[in-house]
Amino acid sequence: MFNTFYCLQWKKQEKEWGELQAMAESLCYKLITVDGNTAIWKKPNQASCLPNQNEFGLDLCSTDDDPDEAWYFKLKKCISKVSLSKEIAVGSIDKWPNRLSKPSARASFMDNGVNLFEADTQKWVKRVSYYKRSLGVKLGTALIRNVMDMNAFFGGLAAAVASDPVWVMNVVPAKKPLTLGVIYDRGLIGVYHDWCEPFSTYPRTYDLIHADGINSLISDPKSGKTRCDLFDVILEMDRILRPEGTAVIRDSPDVINKAVQVAQSIRWTTQVHDSEPESGSAEKILIATKTFWKLPLTSG
């Protein structure tokens, strides 16, 4: 009777509804409501019905499965155990804004994850303050409304500007620690990406692009070899940066010198600054602005 009632809601789609319902049941999803052609299920916070006999051959993934893999991997016909953990269920995560500054359970799954999270959060509060106070970066003003963090890690930069009228796209490099889940747990948004490839977005989208350790974005983490050219990465930054937008690049003096050469070749204005005095770091900070310019008119 239960199934018959809901089938009647999907007139002339009984076959599709039956297949959809069978899939949801094999995933242990609980049907909440059906309204016309809209059905809402709730994902469980534990693998209460798995493994089960189902027509799709679904089962729990092996113990060596990494549920955070999301870049160039084959789809798997299994359910990740970690994704069903009670600790990361929707109702278990702190409410906003507490979730922004408190390490989630997912951070604790990493080696020394909680300490790394707290240190990263404090570091970016200091860095953002330095950007605003000493480097003249217009965060917190109407001039910067949307920001991209090209090397987001735990989303510390985004958390540090949460009180500003700005939203941040957090990008986790696909060859670095897979921390995107922690970013989501903080109530932030983000994606995985490989910066040796174009980023899927419209041109001239962002008012500010931040690249912390830009050379690490193009280096293989195991061999240390360069996978693509710094010029190509900065050219991609130029494509998605608005005219008169700002780029902030942090790295060693040698890398920053190369970045300055590339930036000036595409007609960005550049200023190089020391890093925060209290950090004790030798790295430099490049503040660059994308300018309006036109090709000169040719005579004749």
Residue that is written with structure tokens 């509804």 in the block: 17
Q: How far is CA 73 from CA 20, 158, 189, 222, in A?
A: 25, 28, 22, 19
Question: What's the pLDDT at 259?
Answer: 98
Question: What's the pLDDT at 2?
Answer: 37
Quick one: angle between helices 253-265 and 230-240, nearest 10?
50
Question: What's the pLDDT at 3?
Answer: 40
Longest dimension (CA), the chain: 83
CA neighbor of 249 nearest in space, from 223, 220, 219, 217: 217
Instruction: State the Cα–Cα distance between residues 248 and 253, nearest whole angstrom.
Output: 14
Rounded mean pLDDT for each run of 10 residues along the chain, 300 residues in total:
44 80 87 83 76 79 83 83 62 86 88 95 97 96 96 98 97 94 95 96 95 96 92 97 97 97 97 91 95 77
Question: What's the pLDDT at 9?
Answer: 58
Question: What's the pLDDT at 256?
Answer: 98
pLDDT in tens, 156-166: 999 999 999 99
Q: Domains of the chain by range and CATH?
A: 2-90 (no CATH), 94-290 (3.40.50.150)
Question: What's the pLDDT at 88?
Answer: 66
Question: What's the pLDDT at 6?
Answer: 46
Who contacts 243 (Cβ-Cβ below 8 Å, separation ≥6)?
Answer: 204, 290, 291, 292
Question: What's the pLDDT at 82?
Answer: 61
Give pTM, 2 decimals: 0.87
- Answer yes or no: are the C-beta atoms of 250 and 212 closer than 8 Å: yes
Question: What's the pLDDT at 298?
Answer: 75
Residue type, 171: V
The order of strands in the sheet holding 206-212 is 189-193, 167-173, 146-149, 206-212, 241-251, 284-290, 268-274
